[in-house]
Amino acid sequence: MARISGINLPKEKRIEVGLTAIHGIGRKLSAKIIKEANVNKDKKVQELSEPEVIRLREIIERLPTEGDLRRRTAMDIKRLQEIGCYRGIRHKKGLPVRGQRTQCNCRTRKGRRKTVANKKIVAK
C-alpha cells in the first residue's frame, strides 16, 4: 500500500488516477508527476516498487498539497472577508461568489429551501 502525503492511495486503481486521491492533485498534474518520476502510468498502485513510491513522494513533497493547500485556501477566503470586498461578503453570506444566478439556481450553495410562515412552496 502506497502512502503519500498522509493519504493511503487506492491500491486497485491505476497510479495516474490513484494520485488524484491527494487534495490538490488532478489528472493533469498527476500525469506530469508520473512522467517526471519515470513511472509507467498504466501500473496499478499495488504494483509499484518501493523506489518508485519514494520518487513519487519526493516530487509531491515539493508541491502544496493536503493540509498546506487547505490552510492557504482558508486564509485567502478569510482575507477576502476581512477586507470586506464583494467576494468576501458573498463567502460570508454563503452565496455564489463567481457571478452565478441566484433567483432560480445555486441550491448547493444556499442549502435547502426555507419556507415562510409554514406555507407550501409553489414549484415553478
> Looking at residue 7, what DSSP letter applies?
E
Tell me the whole-structure pTM to 2 decimals: 0.75
Q: What angle do CA 71, 73, 78 make, to 5 degrees?
A: 90
Domains of the chain: 3-62 (1.10.8.50), 68-110 (4.10.910.10)
Model pLDDT for residues 57-114, shown as the tens digit of each residue: 999 999 999 889 999 999 999 999 999 999 999 999 999 999 999 888 888 888 888 7
Supply the pLDDT for residue 114. Answer: 79
What's the CA gap between 123 and 94, in Å, rounded? Answer: 23
> Looking at residue 44, what DSSP letter applies?
B
Q: Is 34's pLDDT higher than 80? A: yes
Q: Is 95 helix (H, G, I), strand (E, B) or coil?
A: coil
C-alpha cell recorded at residue 82: 476581512
Q: How confident is the model at residue 115 (pLDDT cuts 50, 70, 90)?
A: confident
